[in-house]
Amino acid sequence: MVALAGALAAGPGLLRRNLASLRLALPVALVASTCSIGGAMLGLYLSSLDPDIVQVCLGATIVGIAALLTFSKNSELPVVDKQDAIGLALGMRGAFKDQSSGNIVEWKTHRTLMGLIMFIFIGVLAGMFGLGAGWANVPVLNLVMGAPLKISVATSKFLLSITDTSAAWIYLNKGCVIPLMAIPSIIGLMLGSLVGVKLLAKTKPKVIRIIVILVLLFAGLKAMDKGLGIGLLG
């Protein structure tokens, strides 16, 4: 619910700046949100067995993705020589003005089918862990499909407003949302997301890459720490 709210608040600013692409988001969102329903039900089942299993699985996955991003080259502006047929048919291309450099960046996707297949797994994971799957969206959009890092981060954030909607309904209907905790978190994240959109537009892609990796590492290690009951990270 909190991840959904943050994405909803950030969405308008990202779409208006053409950093988030509706053409890129709609097809992958359909795949991911369909699968996130199954993931949410699986997550509820695993939580009823042992919530720590979910935490450890989540942590290990995120740390793995952080390592993948760390060792990947050209992730800020991937080179896409030729757009594939599916990407072309779906109009997955665009341009934006990078405010950090003043340059116009034109982009297009490749390996679209492989990206769509990977979003099946992302949908399941997003629903299962009950949170935004930005940690998975960004690498697939960026490293697999070849979208620039800024487009990947922005489209991923917007994407969460769609994919998390289906999972949020599962949790709402299950009676899992506690307003006492949820509402302050939701409002705080929504207001923070509005600031984040402005920062994303102005920040250099290299800095964004470092921030993404650090946040992923911290989130992954914290989830593992919690799941394993070590208590090192609070």
Please identify which residue in 56, 114, 120, 177 interacts with another protein, judged by CB under 8 A.
177
Total chain residues near another protein (CB under 8 A): 61
Interaction of residue 40 with another protein, rule CB under 8 A? yes
Of residues 111 through 170, those in contact with another protein by CB under 8 A are 161-162, 165-170
Phi, psi of 230 (to 5 degrees): -75, -45
Interaction of residue 44 with another protein, rule CB under 8 A? yes
Please identify which residue in 114, 182, 211, 215 interacts with another protein, judged by CB under 8 A.
182
Min separation Cβ 36 and another protein, Å: 9
Min separation Cβ 41 and another protein, Å: 6
Interaction of residue 29 with another protein, rule CB under 8 A? yes
Tokens of 115: 């990206």
Of residues 189 through 218, those in contact with another protein by CB under 8 A are 190-191
